Amino acid sequence: MLVFVRRSFLLFPLSLSVALSGCRSATPSVAEAKAIAAQEQQEINLARQQMDLIPPPSKTRYMAVKSLTMWENPYVTVQGGMVTLHVLQADANTSDLGVGGMLRPMGARRQELNVRVSDLPTALNAIPQNYWPYGRVVAVEEAHEVPASARPDVRRNMEKVVKTLSDLGVVVYDWNDSGRS
């Protein structure tokens, strides 16, 4: 019986110290939440300043595009857990000879980058200015053949992408399944 008392006596200070110190919850306090929001706003403002270096969009140029395969500006495909940023690199050859032909195909210059929605401003700012021939406009489409269970996630991400782009001062050109919007 003496051993039992000693064990419980030794465990008591340990359990008291755990109870007093407690486990910090993962939710930030109000002050921490305000600091995080202020930092995010500052990052968006900085990204917007960098995006302002790209000229405003030329509506006559991008409205004439009939297919995303011919779209020359960056465009985004929104998925459930991420977005795919499609970037067409500028043509290194400045002559008009053979543009889009067999020796200079547009598809060979296209890159696809999988990006988190939260990293979209950083990814867009990393794209050089000469990759934006239509100006500050991005075509946005939803992923095709999405399972019914993932559609709500895709719609939420679509709303986040549109809000992020509008916060950056980028015109959103909604590209639906049947072509242009």
Indicate the burial class of 32 (C-beta count within 10 angstroms; 0-12, 13-18, 19 or more): exposed
Mean pLDDT computed over 122-136: 92
Q: What is the pLDDT of residue 69?
A: 84
Q: How do the domains of the chain map onto residue ranges?
A: 47-180
Which residue in the block uniquely carries the two structure tokens 């008591």? 12
pLDDT 10s digits, 109-118: 788 999 999 8
pLDDT 10s digits, 55-70: 999 899 999 998 888 8
pLDDT band at 165 (very low <50, low <70, confident <90, very high): very high
Domain 47-180 is in which class? alpha beta
Q: How far apart, in whole angstroms, are the C-alpha atoms of residue 149 and residue 135?
A: 36
